[in-house]
Amino acid sequence: MSWSLDLLPLPPCVELGGPPLSGLLWTLLLLFLWYCYRVGADPPSCSSGSAHSALSRSSSCSPVEHGHSTPKPSPAIAVESGEEEEAKSYLMPVLSHAPFPAQAAAGSRKLYTALQEYAKRYSWAGMGRIHKGLRIQTRMNDRSTIQKPHLFYLPDVPSIPFFPRDAHRHDIEILEASYPIILAEFQAVFKRGIDTKLGWIFQGPKGQALFPLYNAGVCVASNCRACPCTYRTLLSLRTFISSNSLGSAGFWLLGPGASLGGTYGPTNTRLRCHLGLQTPSQCELVVGGEPQCWSEGHCLLVDDSFLHTISHNGGAEDGPRVIFSVDLWHPNVAAAERQALDYIFSPEQ
């Protein structure tokens, strides 16, 4: 843009015959004309109203050092780069194909082989935590800790002894709504007698018995036929572990005076849901040092990979403690991980 003083109209005070214009006014006029010239000649800055994204503005407007062709990264980009590096390091065991620990037990090697077969058939995507868990399982078994699953530990899973109801509200509400019919079917089975020929299993200390509907991922058809409504309730749950050996469901009976000493569950990828059916007041469950009591018609969500004890300190007149136990997926186990664990811990493996 160019300006010519000859073309500008003169103000009335400088017309011929008028009083002379003072030097100060002439100076102000020249400064104003120079400012108009500079504004018209400069390119638009980044702060103009252009419709660029925040990332475009930061990349096009960052100061460039002399002698370098690339701008300095902004703090936002630096944070994103850090997260990307963290993600890469998290998946590094899968990407590096590092050899499996030589000191691993035969069972862990078998599980690792199953993971490799699954990844070849499907994908390694999302398998970082499982791969890491299989590699560190040997070290987990040697640790002195209050949480020590003896079969498989999934890293980076939030763990507390007792979970709130909101973790599996849908399934808990279904179980509690079905409490009357589940209790009635148990009582019918109990009246027939506790005998291995009638589908019962004796586990642990004297006085403890199990009537399984699912045992290590396998449906016990005869027991399910004896409890058809309870079986249909199981099938309506969204997170019931029904396809691998980590999952079971059934009626657990503990007689008066019986107790189960400090033990660890096999994995932290599940939560055990206990629906109280018959719960004498002298019964107690202690998980990770935290005591709880069962309540009839209500559920407890337990992470049994923590050290836990069960006791029935009542008398014969109190009768047995009875719960309906269902294994549900831990809410922080992703869908891809659940699918892989179904394959790795398949009952046929």
Give the CA distances from residue 167 to residues 230, 260, 270, in Å, rounded to whole numbers and listed in that order.
Answer: 22, 27, 12
Residue with tokens 């082989």: 113
Domain 162-331 fold is Jelly Rolls (2.60.120)
Say what the pLDDT of residue 70 is. Answer: 40
Sequential DSSP letters for 198-235? GT-EE-SSTTEEEEEEEETTEE-HHHHHHSHHHHHHHH
Q: Alpha-carbon distance 320 to 294, whole Å?
A: 13
Helix, strand, coil content of the chain in percent (nearest 5): 40, 20, 40
Describe the strand order of the beta sheet including 283-287 as a list of residue ranges.
259-263, 308-312, 283-287, 290-292
Say what the pLDDT of residue 191 is. Answer: 96
pTM higher than 0.75: no
Amino acid at 197: K
Please give the angle made by the CA atoms of 187, 193 and 199, to the nearest 5 degrees: 90
Say what the pLDDT of residue 54 is. Answer: 39
- What the block records as the tokens of 215 is 């045992």
CB 268 within 8 A of CB 246: no
Say what the pLDDT of residue 138 is. Answer: 73
Residue with tokens 């998980």: 287
The dihedrals phi and psi of 88, each to the nearest 5 degrees, come to: -65, -45
Domain residue limits, the chain: 162-331
CB 321 within 8 A of CB 313: no
- Local confidence pLDDT in tens for the 349 residues of the chain: 444 444 445 444 444 444 454 677 778 877 777 776 665 544 444 433 433 343 333 333 433 343 444 433 333 323 233 333 433 443 444 444 455 565 566 778 899 999 999 999 999 999 999 999 998 887 776 777 899 998 999 999 999 999 999 999 999 999 999 999 999 999 999 999 999 999 999 977 677 899 999 999 999 999 999 999 999 999 999 999 999 999 999 999 999 999 888 889 999 999 999 999 999 999 999 999 999 999 999 999 999 999 999 999 999 999 999 999 999 999 999 999 999 999 999 998 6
CA 50, chain centre distance (Å): 42
Torsion angle of C-alpha atoms 226, 230, 236, 239, degrees rounded to 10: -110
Sequential DSSP letters for 105-154? -HHHHHHHHHHHHHHHHS-STT-HHHHHHHHHHHHHHH---SB--SSB--
Query: What are the start-end ranges of the E strands in the chain?
Result: 162-163, 201-202, 208-215, 218-219, 249-254, 259-263, 270-278, 283-287, 290-292, 299-302, 308-312, 321-329
